[in-house]
Amino acid sequence: MTLPPFLRAAMGPLRIMMQDRLAVIGMCVLGVIIAMALFAPLLSTHDPRHINEIEDGSVLSRGAAGWELQESLGPLALNDAVHQDGISLIVGRGGMGWSREGAGAWSALDLPTGADLHAVALSPEGRAIAVGDGGVILLQDGANWQPVPAPEVNLRGVVWLDADSALMVGTNEDILLLDASSGELSAIDSPVGRDFPLQSVALDVDGTALIVGERGLAIRYDPEDGTAALEQLGSSRDLNHIHIDASGAALVVGERGTLLRRESADSAWSADPAPDTRALRAGWIGDDGSALAAGRNGLIMEWDGSEWAIAQTESERHLRALLVVGDEMLALGSDRFVTRLAPPSREHWFGTDHLGRDLFSQNVHGSQIALLVGFLGATLVVLIGTNVGLIAGYYRGRTETILMRTVDVMYGIPFEPFALILVLLFQPSLTIVILAVSLLTWRTVARLIRSQVLSLRERPFVKAARVAGASDLRIMYLHIFPNVLPLVFLELAIIVGVSIIAEATLSFLGLGPPQAISWGGILHDARLSGAWRTAWWWNLPPGIFIMTTVLSVFFISRSLEVVANPRLRARQ
Amino acid sequence: MTRRGYLIKRVLQAIFSLWIIATILFFLFRMGLPDPTAALVTEGLNAEQRAAVRAQFGLEEPLWRQYVLFLTNAVQGEFGTSFSYRAPVSEIVWERLANTMILMLAAIVLAYAIGVPLGAWLSWRRGSRTDTAGIFFGLMFRSAPMFWTGMIAILIFGVGLSLFPTSGMRTLPYDADGFFDKIFTLDFLWHAALPVLIVALYYLGSPLLIMRNTMLEVYGEDFIEMARAKGLPERDILYKHAARNALLPVVTQLAVTIGLAAGGQVVVEVVFSWPGLGREILNAVRTSDFPLAQASFLIMAAFVITLNLLVDILYTTLDPRVSFR
């Protein structure tokens, strides 16, 4: 087998490196990380910049200390709940339904629809009805649920007027009356007729139904004469939910923290000052004057008899419904919410950060900048350092003095502060980061190469070349340079490690390449957000990645040292 | 060349280096921040103060006059008034520099006190599993970025176990007359433990590996053979004969490390809120406090150069073989 001579020359050092087990491990690990950088878009499970949201059938329960997250009911949001005589029902998105008896476990209902269900109600006899998008009306018939044919309107609220008739409201100002025994639907004219969405309906103590909707719209339907009439509640904000207790106390909640309360059937509606102006989606009021309101981002407010106070919740979830059974209070949701600071899970292998971004993908993408700066910076450093060392060592005299004095000056400049000043004066960019990394580091390389060249230039083969009439350039680059090559590679390996750490350091201080995802940058975000003290999954991986990469490079450099310094060879 | 001639030459070189660095710094700042007062108008520098600053740094004058003024001020130790502290820059800088040096020197001493004997011991156990583990951990702490190990240390020892404080040099508020009154207390030691440990772990790798490798080289020398032939115990050969002769490269490395110590470890100071000079530079440039940034850097460089010089001179005294080049 005939190999080209330069390949054969490379085989020797390679064999020496292969004998070092640590070097082989280093090469394998570095190979994996390089592959990770090259295939980052394929490997990452998410877009690293995308703010991830998930939907969840969230249940929060009122405990002694505050509202605590319970086990989820499925992956779909829960929209409404009802309780009567020990039976509780929940309906949610995607035709999801849950029921339980007493305080038992929730069991999923088998509902004959895939449409989003928005409201559920129980008749005095305990017959359930659920309504939702696309005109879906489900009527309970023993253990079965029967769909009722209906026009395609998006229904938002439902209430039983008596054992046989239910009133439902929809987003196009639809008001429908269902005769449950015959299955007949009749539309009732709204007094407004401007297609305002109606959101919720509740049965008042006098047997009429009160409907609320957008822009403070309130309509009272009287089943006696079958007419609907406008009513004033004293608000022009969008109203989302109404709850009326059997005692006559009532609560209406809406956008921008709207809270309308009625103490009894005879008293007037009054708007309560809210401690928070986020949207409220559900309200509940009891006969003892206590009341609850829930909204987006885990907002729950409690009425203590004199004012509304924000309750302690541990969740970011969007709440849509409240269910009160005796002493037990449940808040249900949740539409798509940002998965902030989620611990590692099957969906997010390394968890998420404070903006809900996937940390695994960020870490994978971080390898690109690290290796780019590492190798580019190191190449630049070695290029400058080797040439300066070669020229200084070969020419000696004044050239050497000037070059080596420059190196001395370089040794007077502290690295990190210099990089800081450079980056801050000239705006962070990839170029400046690489420059900051390489502008000072070449000093070591230049010194090492020069001392090697000083001894090489006195060797017979250099003298022979000179006698043979070789030019200075030829002697320097064709005769001396190959002899310092092992040292050059050794320095290259070490400086790759140094550059990676330097880039991570600058990024950690918030001075890295802007918009780029880097390991140091992830740690910068973690430190800045303050959440790093609890979110261990945020801190650990980037540091381990930096350490592993640099360590693998150092392992390789150790075996290169053996190549460069034969004295070490015999004794290892 | 005589010893005195060598000394004079080295001092002149150091002054030359400092002048070059000052020049680079001056032009860097003029390129990056043509009008340092402009960045601060919003932060309460009124027209009058602005004019005063401009006059002090001669910003109305031609560039070469500014340069001369800058050098004159620097030589006289006149660095102006810090924009953010509203106090003379030199006072702030000297205190911060002392804070940095105490942290760095403690860490370097600790690293070498552990690293050198450990390296010698590892070379004795060469090829064993202990040896591999020693190399591995030495390199591992060298590879891990200090801001990360610092954060992890804070998480474990500060937040988790509540054993150590996680920021500052002393429990606030405290009274101290001067620098030494501040640091000769248990409270200071308690605060310094974590940052010193983190920096020491980082520095540990180089004395460890250099000592180990040099020892391996020394084992091949004739006088070790001789000692063995005399039947001396291995322990004596290791510590009395081999280790002493292997110290030189470690001392060289120590000299370089101490020489650069004034540069500090900015990230450690940031993570542990250690009021050092590196952190001050970061804050100064972030708040565009240009007199402070400029002076901090210059004084830091001056200190690095002086340390290098001292270490060089000491080194030639220690090892007469180093010629007065």
- Each residue's pLDDT tens digit, B301-319: 888 888 888 877 777 776 6
| Cβ–Cβ below 8 Å for A508 and B263 | no
> What percentage of chain A exceeds 90 in pLDDT?
8
Q: Please state whether beta strands A291-295 and A280-285 pair in parallel, antiparallel, or not at all (unpaired).
A: antiparallel
A282: left (phi over 0), alpha (psi -120 to 50) or beta: beta
Pick the range with the lowest mean pLDDT from A500-504, B53-57, B243-247.
Answer: B53-57
User: What would you report as the CA-atom Rg of chain A, rounded to the nearest whole angstrom?
Assistant: 37
Residues in chain A: 572
Chain A CB contacts of B142 under 8 Å are: 550, 554
Q: Identify any residues that bridge with A338 across adjacent strands, giving them in sequence order.
A: A53
Size of interface A-B (CB pairs under 8 A): 149
Residue B175 has what pLDDT?
65
> What percentage of chain A exceeds 70 in pLDDT?
97
Residue A546 has what pLDDT?
93
Residue A571 has what pLDDT?
46
- Each residue's pLDDT tens digit, B206-233: 889 888 888 887 877 788 888 888 888 8
Phi, psi of B77 (to 5 degrees): 75, 20
Phi, psi of A367 (to 5 degrees): -65, -25
Q: Please state whether beta strands A198-203 and A128-132 pair in parallel, antiparallel, or not at all (unpaired).
A: unpaired
| Cβ–Cβ below 8 Å for A408 and B281 | no
Confidence of residue A29 (pLDDT cuts 50, 70, 90): very high
What's the mean pLDDT in A462-470?
A: 88
What ipTM goes with this model? 0.85
Phi, psi of A156 (to 5 degrees): -120, -25
Say which residue, B117 or B58, is predicted with more confidence: B117
Residue B38 has what pLDDT?
62
Please tell me which of the candidates A422, A543, A572 has its beta carbon nearest to residue B148. Answer: A543
What's the mean pLDDT in A220-247?
A: 85
How far apart CA A145 and CA A551 sit, in angstroms, is: 64
How far apart CA A566 and CA A555 sit, in angstroms, is: 17
Given CATH 2.130.10.10, say whether it is the number of domain A56-336: yes
CB of A545 closer than 8 Å to CB of A520? no
What's the mean pLDDT in A469-496?
A: 87
Pick the closest to residue A292 from A263, A321, A333 (CA basis). A321
Distances (CA, A) of B232 to B124, B214, B222, B226, B227: 15, 21, 14, 9, 6
Residue B34 has what pLDDT?
66
Residue B325 has what pLDDT?
44
Residue A386 has what pLDDT?
92
Distances (CA, A) of A114 to A375, B74, B90: 55, 78, 74
| Cβ–Cβ below 8 Å for A547 and B282 | no
| Cβ–Cβ below 8 Å for B152 and A540 | yes
| Cβ–Cβ below 8 Å for A22 and B132 | yes
Q: Is residue A155 helix, strand or coil?
A: strand
Task: Outline where DSSP puts E strands in A73-222.
Answer: 78-84, 87-92, 97-101, 107-108, 117-122, 128-132, 137-141, 144-147, 155-160, 165-170, 175-179, 184-187, 198-203, 209-213, 218-222
Say which residue, B118 or B73, is predicted with more confidence: B118
What's the mean pLDDT in B168-191?
A: 70
pLDDT at B1 exceeding the cut of 60: no
How far apart CA A562 and CA B220 sit, in angstroms, is: 16
CATH number for domain A5-9+13-36+375-571, candidates 2.130.10.10, 1.10.3720.10, 3.40.50.300, 3.80.10.10:
1.10.3720.10
Chain B CB contacts of A426 under 8 Å are: 32
Chain B CB contacts of A570 under 8 Å are: 220
Distances (CA, A) of A490 to A13, A59, B118: 12, 59, 25
| Cβ–Cβ below 8 Å for B278 and A550 | no
pLDDT at B144 exceeding the cut of 60: yes
Pick the closest to residue A124 from A11, A223, A216, A203 (CA basis). A203
- Each residue's pLDDT tens digit, A72-88: 888 888 888 888 888 88
Distance from CA of B184 to the nearest CA of A (A): 28
What's the mean pLDDT in A374-395?
A: 91
Confidence of residue A380 (pLDDT cuts 50, 70, 90): very high
- Each residue's pLDDT tens digit, A88-131: 888 888 888 888 888 788 888 888 888 888 888 888 888 888 88
Distances (CA, A) of B175 to A197, B102, B167: 68, 19, 18
Tell me whether A315 touches chain B (CB under 8 Å): no
User: Tokens 């602005």 belong to which residue?
Assistant: B50
Please tell me which of the candidates A424, A505, A555 has its beta carbon nearest to residue B145. Answer: A505
Tell me whether A426 touches chain B (CB under 8 Å): yes
User: Tokens 């920096």 belong to which residue?
Assistant: B199
Pick the closest to residue A59 from A339, A337, A336, A331 (CA basis). A331
pLDDT at A438 exceeding the cut of 50: yes
What's the mean pLDDT in B159-170?
A: 77
Residue B111 has what pLDDT?
93
Q: CA A30, A35, A37, A40 torsion: positive or negative?
A: negative
CB of A462 closer than 8 Å to CB of A456? yes
Distances (CA, A) of B8 to A469, B5, B315: 42, 5, 16
Say which residue, A335 or A390, is predicted with more confidence: A390
3-state SS of A294-350 is: EECCCCEEEECCCCEEECCECCCCCEEEEEEECCEEEEEECCCEECCCCCCCCCCCC
Joined together, the tokens standing for residue B95 give 């205190």
- Domains of chain A, by residue range, sit at 5-9+13-36+375-571, 56-336
Please tell me which of the candidates B152, B265, B296 has its beta carbon nearest to residue A543. Answer: B152
pTM here is 0.80
Joined together, the tokens standing for residue B129 give 């599993």
**Single-letter amino acid code for the residue at A481:** F
User: Tokens 């460069």 belong to which residue?
Assistant: A564
Say which residue, A560 or B268, is predicted with more confidence: B268
What's the mean pLDDT in B183-203?
A: 83
User: Tokens 């004998």 belong to which residue?
Assistant: A19
Residue B177 has what pLDDT?
65
How far apart CA B163 and CA B236 sit, in angstroms, is: 40
pLDDT at B43 exceeding the cut of 60: no
Phi, psi of A485 (to 5 degrees): -55, -45
Distance from CA of A526 to the nearest CA of B (A): 10
CB of B217 closer than 8 Å to CB of B124? no
3-state SS of A181-245 is: CCCEEEECCCCCCCCCCEEEEEECCCCCEEEEEHHHCEEEEECCCCEEEEECCCCCCCEEEEEEC
What's the mean pLDDT in A27-38?
A: 92
Q: How many CA atoms lie within 13 A of B3 on its CB side?
A: 8
CB of A492 closer than 8 Å to CB of A378? yes
Distance from CA of B144 to the nearest CA of A (A): 4
Alpha helices in chain B (DSSP H): 3-32, 47-56, 63-75, 89-124, 129-143, 146-153, 178-183, 186-219, 222-229, 234-236, 243-260, 266-271, 277-286, 290-318
- Each residue's pLDDT tens digit, A128-170: 888 888 888 888 887 788 888 888 888 888 988 888 888 888 8
Residue B320 has what pLDDT?
63
pLDDT at A1 exceeding the cut of 60: no
User: Tokens 């000079």 belong to which residue?
Assistant: B277
pLDDT at B42 exceeding the cut of 50: no
What integer best gives the mean pLDDT of chain A?
A: 85
What is the distance in angstroms between the CA of the first residue and the CA of the last residue of chain B? 8
Residue A381 has what pLDDT?
92
| Cβ–Cβ below 8 Å for B297 and A417 | yes
Residues 486 through 525 of chain A touching chain B, CB cutoff 8 Å:
497, 501, 504-505, 508-509, 520, 523
How far apart CA A392 and CA B215 sit, in angstroms, is: 32
Q: CA B246, B248, B251, B253 torsion: positive or negative?
A: negative
What's the mean pLDDT in B39-54?
A: 64
Domain A5-9+13-36+375-571 identical in fold to domain A56-336: no
Nearest CA in chain A to B262: A414
pLDDT at B324 exceeding the cut of 60: no
Tell me whether A429 touches chain B (CB under 8 Å): no
